[in-house]
Structure 1
Amino acid sequence: MHTAVRADHRRRKHCGSWSGASTVWEILQKAGIDPTPQHTNQSWPAFLKAQASAIVATDLFHIDTVFPRRWFVLFFIDHGTRHVHIAGITRHPTGPWITQQARNYLVDLSDRAESISFLTRDHGTYFTDSFDALFQAIGAHVIPTLPQVPRMNAIAERWIGSCRREATDRVLITRERHLRLVVSEYAEHYNRHRPHRSLGQRAPDRLTDPEPPIARNHTHISRRDRLDGLIHEYSQVA
């Protein structure tokens, strides 16, 4: 099976030219040789899926109030459970401030912090060496995202989009206290009630619950409103 590959290789080397990637692929196909598993499965999405339970991502996003004032929200999100932790809100995201919020986050995690093997973040100057050192001290590898490659932090970016579409873009934020209320309420809704298709239609904090049953015609449904009716939470009444 490999004779054709070796013969073609000798012929091309003798001619003083080397095969391009497409030519090599054609030769392997004719010889019946498949690409190795390492070449086919080591894409970035495959890596994220395989390591999800050990990956935490962090990011900042801004919200402009009606006055106007611009505020920045720092959060962490667990890839495996999709649980979101709002770390802090500030007008000036300096390196020392973000490092302190990260320290508070690790304290809140307690022993669970040791389960973090990878932390993904962007190249913002506010993510300093001191910030990275906090996670490296617990054995985590800090992975900065590459420029113009948003998929490297896609889960964090997706949460930002959800928070904006479902909450902050639909409310006139007046001041910091109001912003904290809106973001905290949405994060609690996201963690405890909002269904996730990748989690079997369960919320991040309810992964041990069975998958929700299919509602029947005579099933009683209760509704809870959040943010003055902006968000509705529905549940079946036993």
Structure 2
Amino acid sequence: MIEHASRRIRTSGATAHPTALWVAQATWNLVMDLEDVNCRAPFLIRDRDGEFPALFDAVLANVGVEVALSGVRMPRMNASMERWVQTCRCELWDRTFIWDQRHLLHPLRGSERF
């Protein structure tokens, strides 16, 4: 996740095979992390990927976050996130041999702090 105002990255986890329950748990973790730092997001812009189930939207609606879908085939609408993913691919994943999930989260957390 990325906050557009501050460009702060928040990594909620990583898995090779995301399921609806995993995405819902990652969403709850994100909500709790935001509450811990007294940050409230009024809305969330997400793409139309099938990995985001209705449960994801329900968890966010439960805490008062409005979910807005990006337009169809409009990568510029989510350009900040697309740029961060491209940077991760070029700077981290193409230059680092990732051993496991724990090792993947280490450089992601480093880029989050940076």
Same fold (TM over 0.5): yes
CA distance in 2, matches of 1:166, 1:126: 25
Which structure shows the higher helix fraction? 2
Which structure shows the higher strand fraction? 1
Give the conservation status (yes or no) of the 8 Å contact 1:167–1:186: no
Matched residue, 1:171: 96
Q: How does 1:79-228 map to 2 (within 5 A)?
A: 79-110=4-35, 112-113=38-39, 115-189=40-114
Q: Offset at 1:168?
A: 1.9
Read off the aligned partner of 2:35 and give its amino acid letter.
S
CA distance in 2, matches of 1:181, 1:117: 29
CA distance in 2, matches of 1:84, 1:127: 19
**What's the secondary structure of 2:14's corresponding residue?**
strand
CA distance in 2, matches of 1:168, 1:184: 14
Q: Offset at 1:88?
A: 0.6
CA distance in 1, matches of 2:95, 2:71: 32
Q: Offset at 1:124?
A: 1.8
Give the conservation status (yes or no) of the 8 Å contact 1:121–1:144: yes
Q: Offset at 1:181?
A: 1.8
Identity rate of aligned residues, in percent? 36
**What's the secondary structure of 1:143's corresponding residue?**
strand
Read off the aligned partner of 1:153 and give its amino acid letter.
N
**What's the secondary structure of 1:93's corresponding residue?**
coil
Read off the aligned partner of 2:33 and give its amino acid letter.
D
CA distance in 2, matches of 1:109, 1:186: 18
Read off the aligned partner of 2:67 and give its amino acid letter.
V
**What's the secondary structure of 1:142's corresponding residue?**
strand
Q: Which structure 1 residue ranges, 5 or more long, are not aligned?
A: 1-75, 190-238
- TM-score where L is the length of structure 1: 0.44
Deviations 1:97-143 (A, max 9, x none): 01110101111111735x31221111122211211112222322211
Give the conservation status (yes or no) of the 8 Å contact 1:145–1:153: yes
**What's the secondary structure of 2:2's corresponding residue?**
strand
Question: Which deviates more from structure 2 when the two are superposed, residues 97-106 or residues 177-186?
Answer: 177-186
Matched residue, 1:77: 2
Q: Offset at 1:177?
A: 2.6
CA distance in 1, matches of 2:64, 2:105: 32
Q: Which structure 2 residue ranges, 5 or more long, are not aligned?
A: none
